[in-house]
Structure 1
Amino acid sequence: MPTLNLTTNVPVDAVVASDVLKDATKIVAKTIGKPESYVMVLLNGGQPISFAGSEEPAAYGELISIGGLGSSVNGKLSSALAELLQTKLAVDGSRFYIKFYDVQRSYFGYNGSTF
């Protein structure tokens, strides 16, 4: 049920995309404490983004989860994901925002129903 949606202005080829998806899945699962089989990661590369008036590499993320989030966990996720984006896409951590959503079960749909 944790879903990470990452958008960046960096063009992403299939090989790099696969690496980012795998690594982000592991980061989210381990940090939140949920199985990898529950984690979904979306990566949107090559999107127009301006950050601080510049179109240098930047990224925005949203992480939605039913539980598992909080100030300590969110800080760890922000740090680990920023490091991943720096390593794989050359996005400096100072050019990455992430928003966290802890939602109720009834607000998350799956398999034609809600959790």
Structure 2
Amino acid sequence: MPTLNLNTNVPVDSVTASDILKDATRIVAKLIGKPESYVMIVLNGGVPIAFAKTEEPAAYGEIISIGGLGPSVNGKLSSALAELLETKLSVDSSRFYIKFYDVERSFFGFNGSTF
């Protein structure tokens, strides 16, 4: 159930979006230790974002998971996702924020119930 929401001001074509979705799924699953079949990635391109007074390429992400997050994992996720965004969208790692949420099972819904 790990979910990664990524927003960027860079327009994203369908081919690039597909590559990012696949790569981000693999990264999140591997580093959090959950199967890829549990991972959801939401990618929003072309979102108006200003960072440090400019509209140069930037991104903001939030990752939510029931377990699997913590200081060492979060650092690895931040690094790997920043590298992905730099490679695929030319978003410099200094223009990418990510927030981590480790939630209780009862705070995440699925299939008409909670985990």
TM-score of the two chains, using structure 2 as the length reference: 1.00
Aligned to 2:82: 82
Report how far residue 22 of structure 1 moved: 0.3
Give the Cα separation in 2 of the matches to 1:68 and 1:23: 19
Give the Cα separation in 1 of the matches to 2:12 and 2:98: 19
Partner of 1:16, secondary structure, is helix
Which amino acid is the alignment partner of residue 63 of structure 1? I
Identity, in percent, stands at: 83
Aligned to 2:32: 32
Structure 1 runs, 4 residues or longer, greater than 6 Å off: none
- The yes-or-no answer on 1:50 pairing with 2:59 is no
- The yes-or-no answer on 1:63 pairing with 2:63 is yes
Report how far residue 101 of structure 1 moved: 0.1
Give the Cα separation in 2 of the matches to 1:5 and 1:21: 11
Give the Cα separation in 2 of the matches to 1:109 and 1:40: 13
Partner of 1:63, secondary structure, is strand
Report how far residue 77 of structure 1 moved: 0.1
Q: Deviations over 1:2-37 (max 9, x none)?
A: 000000000000000000000000000000000000
Report how far residue 49 of structure 1 moved: 0.1
Which amino acid is the alignment partner of residue 53 of structure 1? K
Which amino acid is the alignment partner of residue 90 of structure 2? A
Which amino acid is the alignment partner of residue 18 of structure 2? S
Structure 2 residue runs of 5 or longer lacking an equivalent are: none
Partner of 2:42, secondary structure, is strand
Which amino acid is the alignment partner of residue 69 of structure 1? L
Q: Deviations over 1:60-114 (max 9, x none)?
A: 0000000000000000000000000000000000000000000000000000000
Which amino acid is the alignment partner of residue 101 of structure 1? Y
TM-score of the two chains, using structure 1 as the length reference: 1.00
Structure 1 residue runs of 5 or longer lacking an equivalent are: none
What is the count of residue pairs matched by the alignment?
Answer: 115
Aligned to 2:20: 20
